[in-house]
Structure formats: C-alpha cells, structure tokens
Amino acid sequence: MEPIELTFSSESEPERLDSFISRSVPEITRSAALRLIETGFATVNGTKQKPALKLKGGERVSIVIPPPAPAEPQPEDIPLEILFEDSEVVVINKGAGMVVHPGAGNPEGTLVNALLGHCTDLSGIGGELRPGIVHRIDKDTSGTLVVAKSDRAHNALADQFKAHTIKRVYLALVYGSFKEDKGRIETVIGRHPTERKKMSSRARHGKDAITHWRVVARYGGLTLIQLRLETGRTHQIRVHLSEAGHPLVADEMYGGGGRLAGVQDPVLKQMIRAMGRQALHAKTLGFLHPISKEYLEFDTELPADMAGIIDYLESKVAD
C-alpha cells in the first residue's frame, strides 16, 4: 500500500503526533495512530518518533497502514437455510444480521464460518477470509446468495457477475412516494469523500452503477418497490435511493433513521423500530450453473420483520 503523506502546517497550533494523524485520516483512530507510531509505521521526517511528539510546523508525516494479519476462519455449527447445493455451488437464504465474511470486528459468526461448518469443499479463490464468496450482501440485508464450492465454479460465476448477466431482484420499503411507476438510476459510486464508512455518487473515484426500479405498492408516506441491479457496487441500492430522496426504511447510515420522526402511526413506528435494520431483501437470484450451463433461479419470501410491516400497511389500506 502506498504511504499516506501529510505535512503539518506551520500556521497551526502545536499538536501531538498521534492526535494529528487521527484528525487528518478519519479511518485511523487515536489508539490506532498510537500503535502505528510505536511500531514505526508512522514516521516524522523519515524517523521513528514518540506518539507525544509535539509537531510545530513543516514536519513531514508518512503513514503506512499494514495489511491485517489474516486469521483463518474456523468452522462453526450455525444453521443455514440452503436453497440448493451440488458439488459446485451452494445457494443460501441469508438472514438479516449475518455478516458474509470475517473482518474487523466480526471474526466469527459469519456466513463463511457457517459454510465451513457445513462443507469442506469451498473455492479457495476468495482467499483465506473469503473462501467461496463470489458476491455479498450487507449484514442487515436478507436474502439469496450463491457461493462457489470449486475454483472453476468461482471463475465462471465471477465472469457472469462481471458481464452483468446475473439476475438480481430486491424488494425494498422506502420513504416517500415516487412520481413515476418505474425508472432507472445511473450514477458513479465510490467511497464518500469525507465519511469513510459510506459510499456516494460524489466520490472522487467511482464506478458506474445502474439500478432499475418499479413501484409495487404505495402506502401513503411509504412505498414498496422492486429493484433490479444491472451492476453490483457496494451499498448501491442504499445510495441510489437515499440520493433520490427515498431512503430505505430504518437505514440509519443513509438517512432512513431520521425519517422515522415523520411516521405518525404509533404501531407502524414501533414495528419499524423493532425491525432495527434497513428494509431490503434480496428476493430473486438467477444464473447459469457454472458447469452444466443450466439456468437456475431462486426466489425467497420476505422475512418476518419486513413482511409484518407490509401486512400491517396492507390492512390499513383495506380499512
């Protein structure tokens, strides 16, 4: 990884080295800055210093963020809803709240841990932390996911995702009412310029992102929509809908949380609070079997939390 190069302004008040690093690089916490300095990954004018060093102006600070030390995921006995499985692939209906693969803060309890407990023949192409993982859905998004059990299956599925020939259909409950019945959103999506945990169309460097949508049902201030992904960027649906003024219900990161105050129905408000995650479900997944080339399609029902809210909204419309 290329080092991050910073210069402490001579016009600034003197500041501790660890404080300057954490303030200048949002993804580095104060404690992480301290560790980088103590281990020599953050230097001043090319030399190792102490975290408490006072910068006075003109110093050049160089930061190298080392790659995380991989820890091989361990098999865990976690129940899985398996929709299909053969020697090449396994198709899962992932529940909301399950992270797809291990990472910072989620070393266990992930889909990968569950898969390793279920089968031993996962593709190695994804690396130690992501065996078999060809694509992913967010932790709090429920729905259908395909995992490769062989390297040849992994490559063939990856080619289909790259060619945008995989069928991916989602259902989402969003705030507001669309003027049209269907449409297409096309932007670029990349890392948010200031909020590093978020994605945005205002990114300095982004990739093309295309989402097709159509209205399924209108419920006053809420709308149930179906979405089809043409591309699959990180947080694509969440970003596109939020920036269109229709954030997902209960999506705290992209504006859905702030809209809860406008919900007048106390029962509905409590149901949304109880759901506690963005109202997004990966309903349908269709692809060519990587070896036989047979077209396979899998469809899953809405989980109980989303289904309960929609049933309640339907009952209010019927009254």
Residue where a domain terminates, one of 106, 139, 163: 163
Tell me: do 200 and 316 sit in the same domain: yes
Confidence tier at 74 by pLDDT (50, 70, 90): confident
Q: Could you report the per-residue pLDDT of 209-237, keeping only the tens digit for each?
A: 999 999 999 998 999 999 999 999 999 99
Tell me: do 181 and 278 sit in the same domain: yes
**Does residue 46 lie within any of the structural domains?**
yes
Per-residue pLDDT for 1 more than 70?
no
Report how far residue 261's alpha carbon sits from residue 248's, in angstroms, rounded to the nearest whole number.
Answer: 14
Tell me: do 279 and 307 sit in the same domain: yes
Tell me: do 235 and 168 sit in the same domain: yes
Tell me: do 191 and 258 sit in the same domain: yes
Q: 138, 140, 251, 305: which one is catalytic?
A: 138
- Helix 17-24 and helix 30-38: axis angle, to 10°? 120
Tokens, residue 78: 């976690």
Tell me: do 153 and 36 sit in the same domain: no
Tell me: do 158 and 173 sit in the same domain: no
**Does residue 294 lie within any of the structural domains?**
no
Tell me: do 115 and 148 sit in the same domain: yes
Q: What angle do CA 197, 225, 147 make, to 5 degrees?
A: 60
Share above pLDDT 90 across residues of the chain, in percent, rounded to a whole number: 77
- The CATH number that applies at residue 232 is 3.30.2350.10
The per-residue pLDDT for 70 is 54
**Does residue 243 lie within any of the structural domains?**
yes
**Does residue 68 lie within any of the structural domains?**
no
User: Identity (one letter) of the amino acid at 189?
Assistant: I
Tell me: do 143 and 206 sit in the same domain: no
Annotation says 138 is catalytic: yes
Tell me: do 126 and 23 sit in the same domain: no
Handedness of CA 315, 317, 318, 319 (dihedral sign): positive
Residue where a domain terminates, one of 136, 163, 190: 163
The per-residue pLDDT for 103 is 75
Asked whether the beta carbons of 207 and 231 are under 8 A apart, the reply is yes
What's the average model confidence in pLDDT over 12-29? 89
Q: Which domain holds residue 54?
A: 4-63
The backbone torsions φ and ψ at residue 213, rounded to the nearest 5 degrees and listed phi first, read -135, 155
Long-range contacts of 120-125 (CB under 8 A, 24+ apart): 121/87, 121/149, 121/150, 122/147, 122/148, 122/149, 123/148, 123/149, 123/150, 123/151, 123/153, 123/154, 124/151, 125/151, 125/154, 125/155, 125/158
Cα distance between the two ends of the chain: 60
The per-residue pLDDT for 104 is 65
- The CATH number that applies at residue 56 is 3.10.290.10
The distance of Cα 85 from the centroid of its chain, to the nearest Å, equals 25
**Does residue 250 lie within any of the structural domains?**
yes
Is 229 or 130 the better-scoring residue by pLDDT?
Answer: 229
Tell me: do 107 and 180 sit in the same domain: no
**Does residue 280 lie within any of the structural domains?**
yes
Q: Is 101 left (phi over 0), alpha (psi -120 to 50) or beta?
A: beta
Beta strand pairing call for 280-288 and 142-148 = parallel
The backbone torsions φ and ψ at residue 69, rounded to the nearest 5 degrees and listed phi first, read -70, 120
Tell me: do 168 and 156 sit in the same domain: no
Residue where a domain terminates, one of 63, 85, 108: 63
Q: How many domains does the chain have?
A: 3
Asked whether the beta carbons of 288 and 294 are under 8 A apart, the reply is yes
